[in-house]
Structure 1
Amino acid sequence: MVDAAVIQQCAGPGLKPAIVERFIERVGSEDPLAITVRSGNRIVLVPKPTTPEETLALIRENLGRNMVRVGITQYPAGLGIMEAGELKPNLVDPCENIRMGTALFAKVYRTVMKWYGNPTEKDVLPQVLDDAIIAWQTGYFEGTAVFRAPDLDEVELAAPDEEKPEIDADEQSADAAGEEVSDPVKDGTSDDDPNKAGIRIDLSGIGAK
């Protein structure tokens, strides 16, 4: 279990601490160097990395042809990456991975909340969280590629067992551990899939020194 104090210190401000802890508990890893590689619905076995450099090398080897998740939040490693050389070590820094992962999950949560009509009922919010976690795991919600979709209102989202989300009206004008699967409507080569980012450099020499 990731230390709650570390989560509180590093998590982005978009979600209540309780929901951040649930998110990491359900989809994350205790190992900041953890890497999950999938090809479709199949897990690709890779050597367990012991250093940040080894983790980044494994990401580079698989990015562009497999789905890659990394770190405590199992962040989608290909998001925003056009070339493997753009990968940065912060992906495997525990605090930075939590910051990036919780900020992205907050965006996914907002997308799901919007679809539900921004409910406040306590009995609905757990379902919102479940759907948001599934969307995190698969990358899709109701046909939308959630990682690349425009962000919705950046409001502070409450945990499902709280009375209602605390919404600041002045802020309402801004932008899973299961299997990763393709959207039923789209194939695995979709441009919206961050794990299918195009690679424009030769990766054949990685690891050869």
Structure 2
Amino acid sequence: MLEALLIEKCADPSLEASVVDAFVNAVGDGDPLAVTVKVGRKRILVEKAATPDEALAIARRYVGQATVRVGVTSYPAHLGIESGMELSPALFDACENLRMGTATFAKVMRIVAAWYGSNASKEALPYVLSDSLNAWVSGEFEGKDVFRAQDPGGRMVLQGVTAEGQSSTDEAPLPVRGEVEADDVTSAGMRVDISRTGVNAAGEPVR
């Protein structure tokens, strides 16, 4: 669990602290120097970095040849660059990685929320969070690359949703799309059948 001060200082302000905490706990292991490398569904074992320079060197070695995720948010290292030599050491600074990761995750949430409909009800919000976490892990939502997709804009804040992904007023946990596997950045679970939750894809009550 991240320190509250780090979240307050570095995380994207459009996300509540509980959502940031859920995000980092689901996709990362809390290690600012973490480097995960995968080719397809196969994870490549790489040496554990002891310094930011070592972590940067490992990431540079594989970017462009494999899927590389780095830092406390398992940030996709390939975003915004043409080659591994363009990777910034800032990726391995906990605050900067959290800033970049949560800003991108907020965009992913806006993409997912747009699928549910602009007037998604409060009951649909935990599903938006669940789907967003799976989209971050897989890199896709509805067959599209969420990292390169256009940001639909708007402000998406999960007010009243706990780190467990349920409304703070709920008595029992809501079903989620699937287990988010932090060490598998190429797979995601099946979509939740939201017809059983009392809301449709637009977040409107089902009668």
**TM bracket, shorter-chain basis:** 0.7 to 0.9
State the Cα deviation string for residues 62-88 of structure 1 (Å, max 9, x = none). 111110000000100011110222111
RMSD between aligned residues: 1.9
Q: Structure 1 regions of 5+ residues with no counterpart? A: 164-175, 184-209
Q: Structure 2 regions of 5+ residues with no counterpart? A: 162-166, 170-179, 189-207
Equivalence for 2:15: 15
Q: Which amino acid aligns with 1:179?
A: D
Equivalence for 2:158: 158
Equivalence for 1:103: 103
Question: Contact 2:64–2:83 at 8 Å: present in 1 too?
Answer: no
More displaced 10-residue stretch of structure 1: 111-120 or 62-71:
111-120
SS at match of 1:124: helix
TM-score, length-scaled by structure 2: 0.77
Equivalence for 2:75: 75
Taking only the aligned residue pairs, the percentage that are identical comes to 47
Note the 1:105-120 alignment, pairs <5 A.
105-120=105-120
Displacement, 1:37?
0.7
More displaced 10-residue stretch of structure 1: 122-131 or 153-162:
153-162
More displaced 10-residue stretch of structure 1: 41-50 or 111-120:
111-120
SS at match of 2:46: coil
Question: Contact 2:62–2:84 at 8 Å: present in 1 too?
Answer: no
Cα distance in structure 2, aligned partners of 1:41 and 1:102: 25
State the Cα deviation string for residues 20-71 of structure 1 (Å, max 9, x = none). 1111111122110011111111110000000001001001111111100000
SS at match of 1:69: strand
Cα distance in structure 1, aligned partners of 2:8 and 2:28: 15
Displacement, 1:5?
1.7
SS at match of 2:123: coil
Note the 1:20-169 alignment, pairs <5 A.
20-159=20-159, 160=161, 161=167
Question: Contact 1:33–1:49 at 8 Å: present in 2 too?
Answer: yes
Question: Contact 2:91–2:97 at 8 Å: present in 1 too?
Answer: yes
Higher RCO (C-alpha under 8 Å, 6+ residues apart) = 1
TM-score, length-scaled by structure 1: 0.76
Matched residue pairs, number? Answer: 171
